[in-house]
């Protein structure tokens, strides 16, 4: 494939191109990686970067995802940064109870002899170099049995764009970003062909399509007129309430203290869902959440989650306890009354403290100075409000733990599975009857130094063309009421139904 320049265009029309000098630098990086692959007799990751300016990350993702079966979109409120990743240079997989560990070990091996080139951008949020991106299912058994998404899948993208936080008042304008092209070279790879292929991918992904919708048009666009949807609750409402009663019986009998019971609404539409439009709606209607979308073969897993599992940056570790829910009120007065009930409920406070205690204990294994903010804060979302507690620690001087080690230690928290973990998960496996897939799992990224961010994948849906599986769950304790818990799940489902245009 002959080399051609790839233009990186902003919405205003300014451009910077991957010219001959960039191609030469990329080729040199690939050639050095080939030499190392031949010397070490193992695959070597090459990663080349350069600064650029980009516009709306969702626009880039919407256009670029057409060129591959695997893509990733991430917009985080934690540091304001964005990530768009296209294609796959190397997949990292795991199965069973040690699936996170298998991915971690594969990632460490891959970056051990990393070859880099080009110029790294400055002023970006935490994280450096090539990233491993992807996620993990809630239970090890889910994906193994159904095959919808793997138990564990992280991958190094062929093309990666990380963007900085837009400056105040600069929304809609290009922002500083880093383009990174990654490839794994073997002893018999052709470095010139690898470099040309990466430049070709950059051209496909970053050159605007003059026939594509503008951001404004996409925001205004609704789903196809006349589209019909058929919904099925899994399990049915009354059967699910019966499961709530069964769970509270077991809690009162002392088998476990808390369990998180989920349900699914499966929607079949007469036409495929408009995923870029859904992402636009999610981020517009859910400020303060992490918006993510993972394309893997025919499936797309997307959501707008208010909860993160763990963040690691500069050896500081952050975790979040988000447990305890009440609806939003229709008026300010009603909303305040709901908040008072949330804060004053002994049941909810107990449910919340179970989660926070687990996070503190888990971080104490690798961190010093572990603290939890008090009292819990109230996080208000479009349809519900939650109790929220931030837990913070500092990695001990002798700790080698990275973000993936902490994912393995923390997932699933009592906010997603229950407490004690083993007993709650055992009851769910025997009674829930639901393939959660990556719902209540984790999605995020890790860099080679152990920094990273992982969100808890709630307020999410798994899509396959015209079919969508929407999920919601709630934490049950001894005095949980089936009707109230069912109403809570309905409120949690509403944002994703609205994003997908399901009435």
Catalytic residue ranges: 258, 307
Residue 153: helix, strand or coil by DSSP? strand
Residues ≥6 apart with Cβ < 8 Å to 387 = 322, 323, 324, 342, 343, 348, 349, 352, 376, 377, 378, 379
Instruction: Answer yes or no: are the C-beta atoms of 281 and 498 closer than 8 Å.
Output: yes
DSSP code at position 334? H
The CA distances from residue 306 to 76, 96, 241, 404, in Å, are 10, 27, 26, 20
| 365: nearest Cα among 319, 418, 322 | 319
* 330 burial level (CB within 10 Å; 0-12, 13-18, 19+): exposed
Peptide bond into 235 cis (omega under 30): yes
Task: Tell me the angle at which helices 57-64 and 275-285 cross, rounded to the nearest 10 degrees.
Answer: 160
Instruction: Answer yes or no: are the C-beta atoms of 149 and 437 closer than 8 Å.
Output: yes
Give dist(CA 376, CA 221) in Å, integer: 39
Helical segments of 120-236, H only: 140-146, 191-206, 215-220
Q: Phi, psi (5° rounding) for residue 321?
A: -95, 115
Give dist(CA 282, CA 496) in Å, integer: 7
Q: How crowded is residue 345: how many other Cβ atoms within 10 Å of its Cβ? A: 15
Instruction: Answer yes or no: are the C-beta atoms of 163 and 54 closer than 8 Å.
Output: yes
Residue 373: helix, strand or coil by DSSP? coil
DSSP code at position 464? E
Q: DSSP assignment of 240-268, as one string?
A: HHHHHHHHHHHHHTTS-SEEEEEEEEEEE
Give dist(CA 444, CA 154) in Å, integer: 9
């Amino acid at each position: 494939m002959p080399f051609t320049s790839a233009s990186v265009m902003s919405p205003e029309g300014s451009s910077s191109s991957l010219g001959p000098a960039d191609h030469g630098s990329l080729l040199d990086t690939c050639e050095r990686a080939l030499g190392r692959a031949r010397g070490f007799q193992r695959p070597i990751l090459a990663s080349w970067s350069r600064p650029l300016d980009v516009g709306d990350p969702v626009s880039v993702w919407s256009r670029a995802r057409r060129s591959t079966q695997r893509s990733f979109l991430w917009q985080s409120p934690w540091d304001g940064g964005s990530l768009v990743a296209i294609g796959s240079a190397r997949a990292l997989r795991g199965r069973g109870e040690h699936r996170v560990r298998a991915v971690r070990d594969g990632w460490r091996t891959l970056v051990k002899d990393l070859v880099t080139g080009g110029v790294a951008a400055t002023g970006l949020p935490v994280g450096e170099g090539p990233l491993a991106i992807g996620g993990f299912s809630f239970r090890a058994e889910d994906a193994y049995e159904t095959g919808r998404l793997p138990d564990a899948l992280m991958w190094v993208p062929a093309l990666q764009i990380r963007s900085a936080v837009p400056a105040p008042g600069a929304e809609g304008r290009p922002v500083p970003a880093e383009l990174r092209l990654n490839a794994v070279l073997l002893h018999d790879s052709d470095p010139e062909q690898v470099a040309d292929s990466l430049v070709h991918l950059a051209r496909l992904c970053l050159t605007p399509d003059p026939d594509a919708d503008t951001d404004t048009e996409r925001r205004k666009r609704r789903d196809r007129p006349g589209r019909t949807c058929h919904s099925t609750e899994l399990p049915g409402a009354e059967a699910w309430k019966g499961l709530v009663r069964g769970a509270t019986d077991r809690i009162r009998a002392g088998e476990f203290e808390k369990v998180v019971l989920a349900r699914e609404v499966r929607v079949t539409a007469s036409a495929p869902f408009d995923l870029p439009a859904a992402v636009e709606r999610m981020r517009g209607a859910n400020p303060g959440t992490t918006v993510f979308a993972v394309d893997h073969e025919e499936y797309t897993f997307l959501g707008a989650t208010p909860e993160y599992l763990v963040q690691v940056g500069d050896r500081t570790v952050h975790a979040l306890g988000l447990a305890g829910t009440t609806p939003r009120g229709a008026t300010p007065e009603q909303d305040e009354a709901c908040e008072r009930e949330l804060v004053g409920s002994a049941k909810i406070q107990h449910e919340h403290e179970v989660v926070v205690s687990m996070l503190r204990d888990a971080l104490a294994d690798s961190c010093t100075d572990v603290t939890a903010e008090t009292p819990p804060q109230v996080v208000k979302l479009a349809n519900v409000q939650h109790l929220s507690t931030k837990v913070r620690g500092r990695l001990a001087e002798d700790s080698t733990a990275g973000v993936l080690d902490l994912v393995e230690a923390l997932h699933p928290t009592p906010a997603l599975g229950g407490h004690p973990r083993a007993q709650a998960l055992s009851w769910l496996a025997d009674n829930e009857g639901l393939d959660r897939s990556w719902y209540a799992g984790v999605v995020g990224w890790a860099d080679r130094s152990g920094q990273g961010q992982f969100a808890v994948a709630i307020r999410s849906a798994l899509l396959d063309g015209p079919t969508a599986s929407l999920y919601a769950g709630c934490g049950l304790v001894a005095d949980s009421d089936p009707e109230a818990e069912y109403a809570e799940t309905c409120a949690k489902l509403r944002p994703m139904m609205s994003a997908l245009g399901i009435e």
